[in-house]
Structures are given as C-alpha cells and as structure tokens.
Amino acid sequence: MPDAATRPHYTSFRQRLTAQELVVGSFVKTPTGHATEILGDLGFDFVVLDQEHAPFDRGSVDLAMVAARAGNTAAIVRVPSADPSGLLSVLDCGATGVLVPHVDSPAKAREVVAACRYRAGHRGFSNSPRAGGYGRLGVWDHVDRSDAQVAVIAMIEDPPAIEIIAEIVAVEGLDAVFIGRGDLTVSLGVAGPGTPEVKAATETITAAALKANKAVLAMSAGGDDAKWLKGLGVSGMIVASDQGFMRQAAGRALAEFRELGA
C-alpha cells in the first residue's frame, strides 16, 4: 500500500473522482485530528468529516484539515445543510470538497454549486484563510485553484429526488452524487439497504448519474455489497467510520481476553 508521501496528492482528488477512478474513504465522527491523520497514513484516499451527525464545529474542522494535509488525504466535509455560510466556512478552512445532504431538486443542486464556486457562482471571496495559503495565493490564483480542486457532491437520499434524478445530475458544476442508502431505507420503510426497494433506487440513481458523466459514491461494508456496487459503476466507496473501526477492533480484543476466563 503506498504511503502518504507516494500516493497521489490530495489536491488531485476532484480530478480522480470525476474520472471515476476507484477512491476509498471513511467517515470521521470524532472531532480531533488523530483519526484523520491515521486514516491518511494508512492510505485512505479521503475522509468525510461529519458535521451533520457528529460534534464538529469550525475549530475542530480546522484542526482536522491540518491532520488531513499531514496524512495527504482529501478532507471532504458532510455539512449539516445547504446553507451557503456553512459551505463557505469549511471551504475557507481548506476542505477538498463538500458532501451536502438532502439535495432533492435541481434548484437546490444549483444553489449548492453556486455557493462553492467563484467564477460560475457566488462563493464569498477571501484568500486569507488556509484555502488561500493565508494570503500566499493572489486573488485569481486562489479563485482558479479553488474552482479546479473543490469537489461538490450531492447526497441523494429522498424518494422524491429519485423521480427527478436525471434533472439533478444534469446540473452543471455538480461533480458527483452520494447514495444515502440509510435514509432511503428509513424513508421507504423497508428492512435495510439490501432490500429490493433500496437496490432498485440505487440502480436508478447510479444509471442516471453515469449517463450524465457524474461519479457515484456509496457507503459499503465490503464483500458482495462492494462488488455489486462496483459492478453498477459506483467508484467512490466509503467504509465505516473512525468510531466504527474502533468499536470493531475493541470488540475483537475484548472477546479474545474474555475467552481467557472461559
């Protein structure tokens, strides 16, 4: 496995994503830099800092960005909403991209893209934060670099969005979609992601995205599910989370030692 120094640079993530190269990431739920740095050092292509379901504020996002750069891994932030001020905050901190929940219409997709782009949008300008090298980059160098490197990913996780998915993925400037199989499971009232209903939704979303030449990401536990997703054309795989990895490893270790007293 290539180490952090020999892997592709994190700034190439959007290029790799849109080329539909296989990229592997994990959610980070713990608002420190350690998990991000460890995952990067292991060779994960990206991490997703989870502002939606974990206690990340701007300070902890900022710290995790430093760790991501130390580990040469792309740092995507799952923001809690499409609010432009929230998107600007994480982009100024140096996020390689954003993952935006509940994008259920073309209008919302266009709003998200506009908030994340300078030339084709209305992202608020400042080159003084980390994203602009603390002033090292000139105005237009920062504009062009940001527009070229920031990945905009929409979460498709609502049944109404599936009905108009072709219109959503046609939005210019949207780089990829993430299939929220957990939310779809709950919305559809079915037993789990492996049910025919969620599988059909996954197939519909993926087919529409690929037809529009947009990359597709999904969370997977691996095994047959990962093979099925890859066969559909999903090229971005999100595996577990820092907390999930810790729980699994700790559970195995505890079970091993409990056996000593059996």
Asked, for residue 1, whether it belongs to a domain, the answer is no
Asked, for residue 142, whether it belongs to a domain, the answer is yes
Asked, for residue 4, whether it belongs to a domain, the answer is no
Asked, for residue 131, whether it belongs to a domain, the answer is yes
> What is the Cα–Cα distance from 246 to 229, expressed in whole angstroms?
25
Asked, for residue 151, whether it belongs to a domain, the answer is yes
- The pLDDT tens digits of the residues spanning 144-172 come to 999 999 999 999 999 999 999 999 999 99
Asked, for residue 2, whether it belongs to a domain, the answer is no
CATH number of the domain residue 136 falls in = 3.20.20.60
- The pLDDT tens digits of the residues spanning 234-250 come to 999 999 999 999 999 99
Total of domains in the chain:
1
pTM (predicted TM-score): 0.95
**For residue 2, pLDDT beyond 70:** no
| pLDDT of 3 | 63
Asked, for residue 3, whether it belongs to a domain, the answer is no
**For residue 99, pLDDT beyond 80:** yes
Segments forming the whole domain that contains residue 124: 10-261
Asked, for residue 15, whether it belongs to a domain, the answer is yes
